[in-house]
Amino acid sequence: MNLSYYPGCTLKTKSKNLEDSAIASMAALGIDLVELPRWNCCGTVYSLADDDLVHHLAPIRNLIRAKEEGSNKVVTLCSFCYNIMKRANLLIKNDAEKRNTLNSFMDEEEDYEGEVEVVHLLEILRDEIGWEGIAEKVKLPLYGLKVAPYYGCTLLRPQEAAIDSVERPTILKQLIQATGAEAVDFPFTTECCGSFQIVSNPDFVLDRAWNILSSALRWGAEALVLSCPLCDFNLGQRQKELGKKYREFKEIPILYFTQLLALSLGLDPEVCRFELNYVDPRPLLESKGLLRH
Amino acid sequence: MRIEISANKLRSDFVKKVEEISGETLPSCYQCGKCSAGCPMSFAMDLLPNQIIRLVQLGQEDDIAKSKTIWTCASCLTCAVRCPRGVDLSKIMEALRLITLRKNTDYVEPSKIEGDTIVELPQIALVSSFRKFTA
């Protein structure tokens, strides 16, 4: 089965580890992620202003590209891309007045009414393959690996874009369990990492990272698993600095959910591109005997 | 804090503009404080989120302008999903930011970000910061 796939900017630069491990895992599960031949940056953040329509054009143009390919569904890996495309799609589907304005603004494209469904890859794993379907294909169960699921914001908020329960999600936990690893619940699982404040207020984000990571460590996690490249950066890249600020801090690797999946499916660890992770997870995986191939 | 409350301020252009841009009904907020209780950035704010909406209700534009709170918000939408009155405070924060940004005043100056930082940051960090904090 083929699925139209929208990568977004960060997956082509900083987060090749997310893209490569996703494409390889899905191929092993019988789904080919086919990149849209033409796409643009989604704009990353959904406009929260009622009178601002121009910023909805970027995500909607991507959906039109998917429609032009004859797809009725487009899958995203990045949580930010997922959120803005999902919400812009709901807007153009449900608000006739804004739909007309947006369509009349776009000259080259055919009118669009929200026909393409926006899904995150985690939804494909849960709804189309199923946790049992994944568990059946697991060749290297990740026994003994204690992983905390970290959702962040954009997979769960607002309600209309949530892929799971807003306050008590289980989708990542169930994936972790399907791979044979042990899921570690912790109180900060849906809390914001500080997001784009990393640019203007990096110290605030450092404090967020401390709260989130030290909580995960306290609850016994050996690694964190997530889907958002910005969370990955905010929680991963500055752990050295965290160690300087908080002496008791111990580094903890951050993994993309697709890396966990690829490993459990018995794929060559090369597809995980672990060298791109901010905290190298290989010593941990090695110590659990999970890097054999 | 001593503030002046008058009919002029309560229905000022500022209040109308916030309502128009955000699409939210300001009097719906009954000041329970749920937004501030769950806000992950409140530790860094000089005014709490529920104080911001109260000041908007009362038309206190100057006090809001002096505060850094709207620039500390990360638009995580925790307040929006938890409000028992269905008020989307994240949209009010956005409206307040836009009232400043639309006067062509940037909060983040892209040209002042160091080269190393730009190389290091993922694209989504830069694009979302510029979308939120530049005119």
**DSSP state, residue B76:** -
B116 interface with A at CB cutoff 8 Å? no
Report the pLDDT value the prediction gives residue B4, as an integer from 0 to 100: 87
Query: Would you list the DSSP string of A222-238?
Result: SEEEES-HHHHHHHHTT
Say if residue A52's pLDDT is above 90. yes
Residues of A in contact with B121 (CB under 8 A): 198-199, 233
pLDDT band at A292 (very low <50, low <70, confident <90, very high): confident
**DSSP state, residue A125:** I
Please tell me the distance from the alpha carbon of residue B129 to that of residue A113, in angstroms, as a whole number.
29
- Inter-chain contact A49–B71, Cβ cutoff 8 Å? no
Q: What are phi and psi of B26, to 5 degrees?
A: -60, -40
Say if residue A284's pLDDT is above 90. yes
pLDDT band at A254 (very low <50, low <70, confident <90, very high): very high
Report the pLDDT value the prediction gives residue A31, as an integer from 0 to 100: 98
Say if residue A293's pLDDT is above 70. no
Longest dimension (CA), chain A: 59
The dihedral over CA atoms of A191, A195, A200, A202, expressed in degrees to the nearest 10, equals 60
Whether the Cβ atoms of residue B63 and residue B55 lie closer than 8 Å to each other: yes
Report the pLDDT value the prediction gives residue A59, as an integer from 0 to 100: 98
Report the pLDDT value the prediction gives residue A41, as an integer from 0 to 100: 97
- Inter-chain contact A195–B122, Cβ cutoff 8 Å? no
- Inter-chain contact A192–B90, Cβ cutoff 8 Å? no
Please tell me the distance from the alpha carbon of residue A84 to that of residue A268, in angstroms, as a whole number.
33
For chain A, what is the mean pLDDT?
A: 97
Report pLDDT digits (tens) over B5-57: 999 999 999 999 999 999 999 999 999 999 999 999 999 999 999 999 999 99
How many Å is the Cα radius of gyration of chain B?
Answer: 16
- Inter-chain contact B125–A204, Cβ cutoff 8 Å? no
Report pLDDT digits (tens) over B58-103: 999 999 999 999 999 999 999 999 999 999 999 999 999 999 999 9
Identify the residue among A19, A48, A168 best suited for mutation to test binding to B, counting B beta carbons within 10 A and taking the highest: A48
Interface list for B 59-78 with A (CB within 8 A): 71-72, 74-78
Share of chain A above pLDDT 70, in %: 100
CA atoms within 13 A on the CB side of A208: 31
Report field, pTM of the whole predicted structure over 0.95: yes
**Mean pLDDT, to the nearest integer, of A103-112?**
94
Share of chain A above pLDDT 90, in %: 98
B45 interface with A at CB cutoff 8 Å? no
**DSSP state, residue A127:** I
- Inter-chain contact A45–B81, Cβ cutoff 8 Å? no
> Is the complex ipTM higher than 0.90?
yes
